[in-house]
Structure 1
Amino acid sequence: MTRLSILDQSPIGEGSTPAEALQATVELAKAADTLGVTRYWLAEHHGSPGFAGTAPEILIPIILGATRRMRIGSGGVLLPRYPATKVAEVFSILAGLYPGRVDLGLGRAGGPPEHFPQDVTDLKRWLGDDPQIWLLGASTTSGALAAKLGTAYAFAHFLNPPPGVEAMEAYHERSPAPASALAVRVIVADTEARAGDLARSVLLWRSRKDLGDDRPLPSVETARCHRWTSTELERASNNSRALIAGTPEQVRPVLLDLAQLHGTDELVVNVLTHDPADRLRTYELLAEILAPASSGARLVSP
Structure 2
Amino acid sequence: MRISVLDQSPVGEGHTGADALRASLDLARDADRLGFTRYWVAEHHHSPGFAGSAPEMLAGAVLAATDRIRVGTGGVLLPRYPALKVAEVFAVLSALHPGRVDMGIGRSGGPAGDFPERLRELRALLRPGGPDDGPRAVTAVPPVQPELWLLGASAGSARAAGELGVGYAFAHFLVPGPGVQALHAYRSAQARAVPGDGHGGVLAVRAVLADTQARAEELAGSMLLWRARKDLGDDRPLPSTASVRAHRWTGLEAERAAERRRSMIFGTPEEVVPRLRALAEEHGVSELMVNTLTQDPADRARSYRLLAEGFGLSGTRSGAPVAAAAG
Please report the TM-score for the alignment, with normalisation by the length of structure 2.
Answer: 0.87
Residue type of the alignment partner of 2:104: G
1-structure distance, mates of 2:206, 2:268: 14
1-structure distance, mates of 2:13, 2:180: 35
Instruction: State the match for 1:205 in structure 2.
Output: 226
2-structure distance, mates of 1:157, 1:36: 23
Q: How much does 1:178 deviate?
A: 3.0
Instruction: State the match for 1:298 in structure 2.
Output: none
- Asked if structure 1 preserves the Cα contact closer than 8 Å seen for 2:90 and 2:146, the reply is yes
Instruction: State the match for 1:178 in structure 2.
Output: 198
Structure 1: tracts of 5 or more residues without a match: 293-302
Residue 160, structure 1, aligned to residue 159, structure 2: no
Q: Deviations over 1:195-248 (max 9, x none)?
A: 000000100000011111100000000011111111111000000011100110
Instruction: State the match for 1:115 in structure 2.
Output: 114
2-structure distance, mates of 1:14, 1:291: 32
Indicate the percent of aligned positions where both proteins have the same amino acid. Answer: 59
Residue type of the alignment partner of 1:156: A
Moved over 2 A (4+): none
Q: How much does 1:106 deviate?
A: 0.4
- Asked if structure 1 preserves the Cα contact closer than 8 Å seen for 2:155 and 2:186, the reply is no
Question: What secondary structure, in the 3-state scheme, does the structure 1 residue paired with 2:260 have?
Answer: helix
Instruction: State the match for 2:147 in structure 1.
Output: 132
Residue type of the alignment partner of 2:311: L
Residue 21, structure 1, aligned to residue 20, structure 2: yes
Residue type of the alignment partner of 2:291: N
2-structure distance, mates of 1:178, 1:203: 36
- Asked if structure 2 preserves the Cα contact closer than 8 Å seen for 1:12 and 1:21, the reply is yes
Question: Greater Rg, structure 1 or structure 2?
Answer: 2
- Asked if structure 2 preserves the Cα contact closer than 8 Å seen for 1:137 and 1:154, the reply is yes
Residue type of the alignment partner of 1:168: L
- Asked if structure 2 preserves the Cα contact closer than 8 Å seen for 1:171 and 1:178, the reply is no
- Asked if structure 2 preserves the Cα contact closer than 8 Å seen for 1:3 and 1:291, the reply is no
2-structure distance, mates of 1:206, 1:162: 18
Residue 47, structure 1, aligned to residue 68, structure 2: no
Instruction: State the match for 1:216 in structure 2.
Output: 237
- Asked if structure 2 preserves the Cα contact closer than 8 Å seen for 1:218 and 1:274, the reply is yes
Instruction: State the match for 1:84 in structure 2.
Output: 83
Q: How much does 1:126 deviate?
A: 1.7
Instruction: State the match for 1:58 in structure 2.
Output: 57
Q: Deviations over 1:248-273 (max 9, x none)?
A: 01111110011111111111110000
Instruction: State the match for 2:140 in structure 1.
Output: none
